[in-house]
Amino acid sequence: MTDLVLSDRSLDALKLDAVIVGVASRDDELVVLEGAEQLDPDALVEMLVALGAKGSDGEVTKTVLPGGPAPVVIAVGLGALGGDDAAHPEPIDTERVRKAAGAAIRATKGMSHVAITLAGVNGEYDAELVQAVGEGVMLGGYTFGEYKSEQPKASELPATRVSVIVDKARATANTSALKRAVKISEAVAMARDFVNTPPNDLYPDSFAKRAKALAQQLGVKTEILDERRLASGGYGGILAVGGGSDRKPRLLRLSWTPTGIKRGTPSVALVGKGITFDTGGISIKPAAKMDLMKTDMSGAAAVMAATLLVAALELPIKVVATIPLAENMPSGSAYRPADVVTHRGGKRSEILNTDAEGRVVLADAIARACEDGPDYLIETSTLTGAQVVALGERTAGVMGSEEFRDRVAGAGTCVGEAAWPMPLPQDVRDGMKSKTADIANIGTGPGGMLAAGHYLKEFVTDGVQWAHIDIAGPSYNSGGAYGYVAEGATGAPVRTILHVIEDILTAG
């Protein structure tokens, strides 16, 4: 990843290939944001206007400014400035800065050293904005080329070094903010790497072992249950879904319990769906786009990365992740429609569709997670195609305990991982009645995302505040890069989970 450093030195002293500056629009006029005073802003605006720059969100314009501190100036748009006072416009929020930094860094391919001055407006070098710049740079420049025979050339990669220009008066706060940005970005990149890895290399056992190796570096305890221990532990859902594959299922547990936790601090359980490849099983999927089903473990990757991020930040709160891992394949040993599965804890579900397998493995994991007596439970998964139908590819659906559901959805929106609270209507639950078991694994009518939420709710212990984040769409970007989101895995909702955990730590 890009080497990210703070600097309060003059741009002339840094020997730069380019300088990244923020521009915006105000009353249909292009303005250069504070922080670019060393570049002759008036001359720069004249040059950019001649090139057609508007300052709109994510717009990137390259130009040459004679006599400047670098051969190239990269102007990135942050949209329209609000506020009634032209001299003191409304501050630019962190998400706009994060997106702008991500868009700008992709314009630095082939460069060695660039500086970025996206510090906000009116010279306000807020630490949160510095963190946003750092996250945008690192996540926007993310690439995954592990399986290419020829590694990308320097001319195809973003700048290797980025100096974030800041005010020396806030050096301590800014240094902490940038270090935090690096740790968060590394965790998101970790989740992206897992999701982008092809399924012949990432399967239940290899996922668990890779996660264990990473966890050991941070003092996070691990436990891996193989098929024999799953059977003796009553994990019928995980065994059923994974029974059709030669690559046997696993249950991965990651535990962060640091010393120094204050008495009364709530504990948090995390659960993430880890279907390392999903054919649909006997209820097999169409061939078109089945390759994207390597991403059906995005929830597991996010939960793993979020747990390790909590450890990397040394947060004084107990977090335990329970991650069911299975490959859903059709074979003579695969589970069938009409089977009845006995879950951890004894509840039984009738299988009407083997392609609704995520909730079947999650049921076991949720039941196990609740045995620890957590105060909060956050679960995330690529659960339903219905989420994409309802909310599109960039907005997650959140279900669960109403107050906590809204809190989690708000956290997602706050960090730039859009989320929307969804209801759990009783009529949808009524459509999931089974004549032979406690519940059917699909409903009889529309509202597939809500039916999945009801199914998961059945396994949450009373009194535990819980939320499910359906990331079927937001977990993967099949189009071109935008903002700080690269093509491929997005790493959602790692940052949402972190925000919620830190909010619990602060407010309970």
Would you name the residues annotated as active-site residues?
285, 359
Task: Please give the structure tokens belonging to residue 405.
Answer: 């559901």
**Contact between 267 and 321 (Cβ < 8 Å):** no
Task: Please give the structure tokens belonging to residue 366.
Answer: 């949720």
Beta bridge partners of 225: 251
Stretch (H or E) spanning 456: helix 448-457
Spell out the residues 6+ positions from residue 289 whose beta carbon is closer than 8 angstroms to its own. none
Beta bridge partners of 465: 376
Distance, in Å, from the CA atom of 270 to the CA atom of 366, rounded to the nearest integer, reads 9
> 335: which DSSP letter?
-
- Sequence length of the chain is 508
**Contact between 242 and 248 (Cβ < 8 Å):** yes
Strand residue runs (E) in 302-347: 319-328, 340-342
Q: What are phi and psi of 381, to 5 degrees?
A: -170, 160
CA-to-CA separations, 59 to 12, 28, 52, 77, 295, in angstroms, rounded? 26, 15, 11, 5, 30
Spell out the residues 6+ positions from residue 29 whose beta carbon is closer than 8 angstroms to its own. none
Strands 60-63 and 72-80, sheet pairing: antiparallel
Burial class (CB in 10 A: 0-12, 13-18, 19+), 263: exposed
SS3 content of the chain, % helix, strand, coil (to 5): 35, 20, 40
Nearest CA-CA partner of 261 in 10, 501, 8: 501
| Direct distance between the N- and C-terminal alpha carbons of the chain, in angstroms, rounded to an integer | 35
